[in-house]
């Protein structure tokens, strides 16, 4: 596909996007440094299992704690709800598939376990400012990245 359809400038842009995405991906793999070890473990678990059908209930069960306790400590230490964090991470990861695959938007929505494409589009636009289709079609849009450390600094 690359050899047949991309001009040199497009290929260079594609390569730059892949490098940027890789750098962001590696940055996400760093160990979180919140004061609560369960919160750090939950973030790492989400990063590892993002394409599975994660819910607050399934995460709480995995860590053998109640959903209310997990929700409370996550919000207290991270500054956003666990559901919001799951959505943010799903949007971040879905950007790669929108930009660098031919998968349909519905298929990507399903891959990240959004209940339907309409909800995926609404959540995607909430964080990126554009619809998934616009993000895919207009290559000048930067990848959206949520800076969890920024929230942590604001709380100190």
Model pLDDT for residues 76-108, shown as the tens digit of each residue: 999 999 999 999 999 999 999 999 899 999 999
Residue 152: predicted pLDDT: 45
Q: Domains of the chain, with CATH numbers?
A: 6-155 (1.10.10.60)
Query: How far is it, in rounded angstroms, from Cα 101 to Cα 87?
Result: 21
Is the separation of the CB atoms in 130 and 138 below 8 Å?
Answer: yes
List Cβ neighbours of 86 (8 Å cut-off, separation of 6 or more): 46, 54
Cβ contact 74:82 at 8 Å: yes
How does residue 156 score in pLDDT terms, banded at 50, 70 and 90? very low
10 in Cβ contact with 17 (< 8 Å): no
> How high is the pLDDT of residue 118?
97
pLDDT beyond 80 at 72: yes
- Residue where the block lists tokens 């989400």: 46
How high is the pLDDT of residue 145? 84
The answer to whether the beta carbons of residues 98 and 136 sit under 8 Å apart is: yes
Instruction: Fill in the DSSP letter of residue 47.
Output: H
Residue 124: pLDDT above 80?
Answer: yes
What digits encode the pLDDT tens for the residues 56-66? 999 999 999 99
The pLDDT assigned to 32 comes to: 64
Cα–Cα dist 102/36, whole Å: 40
């Amino acid at each position: 596909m690359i050899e047949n359809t991309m001009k040199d400038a497009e290929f260079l842009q594609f390569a730059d996007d892949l490098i940027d995405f890789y750098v962001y991906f590696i940055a996400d793999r760093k160990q979180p440094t919140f004061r609560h070890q369960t919160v750090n473990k939950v973030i790492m678990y989400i990063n590892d299992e993002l394409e599975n059908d994660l819910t607050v209930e399934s995460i709480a069960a995995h860590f053998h704690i109640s959903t209310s306790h997990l929700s409370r400590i996550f919000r207290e230490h991270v500054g956003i709800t666990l559901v919001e964090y799951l959505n943010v991470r799903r949007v971040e990861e879905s950007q790669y598939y929108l930009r660098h695959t031919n998968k349909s938007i519905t298929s990507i929505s399903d891959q990240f376990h959004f209940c339907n494409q309409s909800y995926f589009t609404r959540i995607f636009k909430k964080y990126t400012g554009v619809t998934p289709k616009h993000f895919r079609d207009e290559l000048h849009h930067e990848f959206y990245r949520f800076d969890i450390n920024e929230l942590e600094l604001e709380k100190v």
